[in-house]
Amino acid sequence: MAGIKAEQLASLMNELRNTLVVFATDPVLRQLSGKGASISPKDIEENWIYLVLPESKLQVYSRYLSLIVSQFTRYLTQRPEKAQPNVLMALDEFPRLGFMPAFTDAISTLRSRNVSVMILLQSLAQLDKIYQENGRKVIMDNMHYVVVHNALDNTSQKYFSDRAGAKTAVIKGTTVGTGGSAGTIDALFGSHSTNYNQQSVPLIRPEEFATLEKPILYAYKLGVARVDKAYWFNDSRMKSLVEQGGVR
């Protein structure tokens, strides 16, 4: 700080204060102090583990969260093949966790360890920004079940349209002539001809993803289908579990 102007020093201190103030009374900070309860990756074998943060804190703790996810990922890749119990790793707002090399390296291995990975995101452009296009392809190629509620950006629309595949459509064409030889019917009414051509067209056009009325499901070995939404509060069993405070 030697030689820095007083105005610049004041600006630096103000920025530092604004950055650190969020941690002053934050309960997450107390967990990091070593005085609270602790967990280790192996605890996931016998417990349901939830890590919940307010959305306003996701950016602040993104590196902390990515460290936790990376540690659990490394542990799960070391499980024996077809290990029990089955484990679900569900990551909401996945792109906001930042770049995690351990995740992309392990995602193709986890399935053989009976680990299912579920990620939730707003658009594929978010993955491209963090993992680049090749990294996004690695992640999406290992997602054997994908549900799309809508897609507004061009990258996502084109990807999901291409993933859905194409169908063969019969295109009907009509040619109308302006006339024929003098004294013929064609000279009076013109000539007409109809032709049919087979053409490959997208099963779901890219622009359709912007206004989906029903979610699109991509299922491994089953293809693509439009499905109905299932609301937990309309299911008596799920509603009962939620009211009891969780799954038993």
| Residues 177-229 pLDDT 10s | 665 555 555 555 556 677 778 888 899 999 999 999 999 999 998 899 999 98
Q: For 108, left (φ over 0), alpha (ψ -120 to 50), or beta? A: alpha
Pairing between β-strand 216-219 and β-strand 145-148 as defined by DSSP bridges: antiparallel
Q: From CA 92, how far away is CA 121, in angstroms rounded?
A: 7
Looking at residue 84, its pLDDT comes to 92
CA 65 to chain centroid, in Å, comes to 18
Pairing between β-strand 87-91 and β-strand 115-119 as defined by DSSP bridges: parallel
pLDDT tens per residue, range 100-131 = 988 888 998 999 999 999 999 999 999 999 99
Kindly report which listed range (2-16, 21-35, 116-130, 217-231) carries the lowest average pLDDT score: 21-35
Q: What per-residue string of b and e applies to 216-237 under the rule 16 or more CB within 10 Å gives b?
A: bebeeeeebeeeeeeeeeeeee
- CA neighbor of 77 nearest in space, from 42, 107, 117: 107
Looking at residue 191, its pLDDT comes to 62
Question: Can you tell me which residue has the tokens 């859905």?
Answer: 164
* Residue 60, pLDDT above cutoff 80: no
Q: CB under 8 Å to 189, separation ≥6 — which residues?
A: none
